[in-house]
Amino acid sequence: MSTSVSTVRVDLGNRTYSISIGSGILDAPESYLGLPPSSACAIVSNTTVAPLFADRLAAALCRIYAKVHVILLPDGEVFKEWTTLQRIFDELLAAKCDRSTTIFALGGGVIGDLAGFAAACYMRGVPYIHVPTTLLAQVDSAVGGKTAINHPRGKNMIGVFNQPTRVIVDVDTLDNLPQRELIAGLAEVIKYGAIVDDEFLVWTDRNLSALIARDKAASIEGVRRSCEIKARIVAEDEREAGRRAILNFGHTFAHAIEAGVGYGGWLHGEAVGCGMLMAADLSARAGLVDRAQVERLARVVREAGLPTRPPPLGVDRFLELMRGDKKAVAGEMKFVLLDGPGSTVVKFVESGMVAATVESFTAGAGPLRQP
């Protein structure tokens, strides 16, 4: 086990939990000490991640639980829906898991969403521990307790807030992550700096190559600071009634991109990378920031290797997709906008201005599918 484990506390009253971040901590039994006692646990993973890490996690958990069940799901966002959730319930019930059974989510955001939602609903709630294996999951979905499945009418429409009991981030898992997915995860790291911590944006900018090279120290630091920022925001507003909305910076544009190309065409982080630039452009149009700040963010996003142009959806279709986003309140549209370095504001924006942003970006539209 690494000698240096960083810990981030997510302060949520009696739902407070901690995130351990380190190198080589996935299969260290001490990572799992102090969890609620139970005779059984279930590892929920997918057919891509399980061959890499499930045996190692199971070996550590065997020392704590008399029974370790493994529930294998197919890999992909397309499986983030009810029948997959039902499969988890079926297997938990077939294995006679009870209310004390602890669920371990081993995988990226989709596995976290499915296992976290299943844990919230199985016998009205069992403990769950998230072991995220993608950068995106480590810096984003590991903090805040959002779980969901998709509905034919929209992404993440059905879900609950369910805080994990603990999160274990082993940055060694990033070694197995395809480069494209690593870079997609960087979009959220860049986002944290952009919205609330300009100093962290400067740090991210300086450490881009180390992060892309999966340098352990840089990865731990990047994940730690990202989790700290998100934890602070979530602690202020667990159920997204206000402040937490700033985490959606770039996301209204991103969701339109994702929905427009079909899920799987662009990765979420790629859409967020481009979406942030569109939101920054809208911020400048609204007179909240100068063009230099927009250009600076664009440079970091570009240097990270993230797309800076949306796919060729056409302005009308793009706007229509944005209006379908669930952040709409009674038909109106709300945006998270920059109003200075590391500073953000939530504002309703006149639709002509939004159209101008979409138009200026789609004029030089990017590819329908990312390479």
Q: Would you name the residues annotated as active-site residues?
A: 124, 146, 188, 230, 240, 244, 248, 251, 255, 268
Cα–Cα dist 245/223, whole Å: 21
Measured between alpha carbons, how far is 252 from 361 in angstroms, rounded to an integer? 15
Answer yes or no whether residue 100 interacts with a second copy by CB under 8 A. yes
Which residue is it, tokens 């910076």? 249
Q: 17: which 2 tokens?
A: 């939990």
Binding window for a second copy (CB under 8 A); candidates: 24-32, 266-274, 285-293, 327-335: 327-335
Residue number, 120 or 313, with CB nearest to a second copy: 120
Q: For tokens 């979409």, what's the residue?
A: 358
Rounded-to-integer distance, Cα 126 and Cα 100, Å: 6
Secondary structure of residue 20 in the 3-state scheme: strand
Contacting residues for 267 by C-beta, under 8 A, at least 6 apart: 180, 181, 184, 370
Chain residues 249-268 in contact with a second copy, contact rule CB under 8 A: none
| Host H or E run for residue 166 | strand 166-170
**Rounded to 5°, angle at Cα 25 from 19 and 28:** 120
Name which of 153 and 371 has its Cβ closer to a second copy: 153
Q: How many Å apart are CA 20 and CA 44, to the nearest integer? A: 20
In 3D space, the residue among 105, 89, 221 whose CA is nearest the CA of residue 163 turns out to be: 105
Binding to a second copy in span 33-52, by CB under 8 A:
39-40
CB of 179 to a second copy, least distance (A): 32
Among 329, 352, 363, 371, binds a second copy (CB under 8 A): 329
- 153 belongs to the binding site for a second copy (CB under 8 A): yes
Q: Binding segment for a second copy among 134-142, 146-154, 256-264, 344-352 (CB under 8 A)?
A: 146-154
CB-CB contact of 283 with 338 (8 Å): yes
Min CB(124)–a second copy separation in Å: 5
Beta bridge partners of 159: 148
Is residue 158 close enough to count as binding a second copy by CB under 8 A? yes
What residues does 245 pair with on adjacent strands? none
Residue 89 touches a second copy, criterion: CB under 8 A: yes
As a residue count, the chain comes to: 371
Least separation in angstroms between CB 328 and a second copy: 6
Stretch binding a second copy (CB under 8 A), from 46-54, 82-90, 196-204, 221-229: 82-90
Nearer to a second copy, 77 or 240 (CB): 240
**One residue of 51, 55, 78, 151 binding a second copy per CB under 8 A:** 151
Stretch that binds a second copy, among 15-23, 48-56, 275-283, 322-330 (CB under 8 A): 322-330
Work out how close the CB of 90 gets to a second copy at its nearest, in angstroms, rounded to a whole number: 8
Quick one: 39 or 209, whose CB is closer to a second copy?
A: 39
Nearer to a second copy, 119 or 289 (CB): 119
- Name which position in 78, 292, 328, 368 contacts a second copy (CB under 8 A): 328
Q: Segment 163-222, which members bind a second copy (CB under 8 A)?
A: none
* 40 contacts 9 by C-beta, under 8 angstroms: no
Does 348 participate in binding a second copy (rule CB under 8 A)?
A: no
Q: Any idea of the CA torsion for 141, 103, 150, 268, to the nearest 10 degrees?
A: 30
* Residue 363 binds a second copy (CB under 8 A): no
| Amino acid at residue number 81 | E
What residues from 108 to 137 belong to the interface with a second copy (CB under 8 A)? 120-125
Residue 148 within binding range of a second copy, rule CB under 8 A? yes
> Dihedral, CA atoms, 293, 299, 304, 308, nearest 10 degrees?
90
86 binds a second copy (CB under 8 A): yes
Under the criterion CB under 8 A, does residue 333 sit at the interface with a second copy? no
The angle that helices 291-303 and 198-206 make with each other, rounded to 10 degrees, is 40
Residues forming contacts to a second copy in the complex (CB under 8 A) are 39-40, 82, 86, 89-90, 93-94, 98-100, 120-125, 146, 148, 151, 153-154, 156-161, 239-240, 326, 328-330
